[in-house]
Amino acid sequence: MKQNRKWYDYLWIAELTYLILGLFNILFAWLGMLFFCIPLLIAIFGGSKAYCSRYCGRGQLLELLGRKLKLSRNAAPPRFLRHPIFRCGFLAFFMVMFSLMLLSTYRVFTGAPLSEAVTLRWMFRLPWQWADVSFAAPWIAQFAFGFFGVMLTSTILGLVTMVLFRPRSWCVYCPMGTMTQGICRIRNRKEMKDDGRACT
């Protein structure tokens, strides 16, 4: 029986389009803030991880590549990837890198020279000299370079774990998933307490 597809089943196209647009014009990297903010807003106001299970274009893309195109070994990911200590540690590392990216953006805003490079895996600098950012403020371009580096790095990590393990193994330790899960737990615990059903 053919399964009825919903509009959100095609959000992998948005993820793929974002990556392609960023290669043509780095300023499109700003669109990635949607992927950053929407999961948090859904968790804060909705109290659920609906974004992760339903709307995440990256998860859908990994599922498509791994399961439909059979690029995944489909092996169980190692236990440490889902361990709270590893997940929280990876989230902390991710947030430190994000903060350093914001710091470099602030430095350019205050007069430092623009660095036209995307940092891959937070270590390898890929020169982006062909990008035309002359029509944008330097700090806007600097944020775009930094943020696209974060998005590209996390995509590569997702692809690697997809090939080595199950298609959506990235979702096990995704920083956004860890953050939204924490927000949902705090929010739902507060609601239980307000209803007189305190957790024990």
- Phi then psi dihedrals of residue 36, to 5 deg: -90, -40
Burial of 144 (0-12, 13-18, 19+ CB in 10 A): buried
Across 14-29, average pLDDT: 92
Tens digits of per-residue pLDDT, 100-114?
999 999 999 999 998
What residues have CB less than 8 Å from 145, skipping those under 6 apart?
26, 29, 115, 116, 117, 118, 128
Taking 70 as the threshold, does the pLDDT of residue 195 lie above it?
no
- Phi then psi dihedrals of residue 136, to 5 deg: -115, 155
Q: Which two tokens stand for residue 162?
A: 């997809």
Largest CA distance in the chain: 61
Give residue 48's identity as a one-letter amino acid code. S
Give me the pLDDT at residue 198, please.
42
pLDDT classification of 194: cutoffs 50, 70, 90: low
Tens digits of per-residue pLDDT, 120-172?
766 677 776 667 788 889 999 999 999 999 999 999 999 999 999 999 999 99
Supply the pTM of this predicted model.
0.87
Of 96, 33, 77, nearest to 168 (Cα)? 77
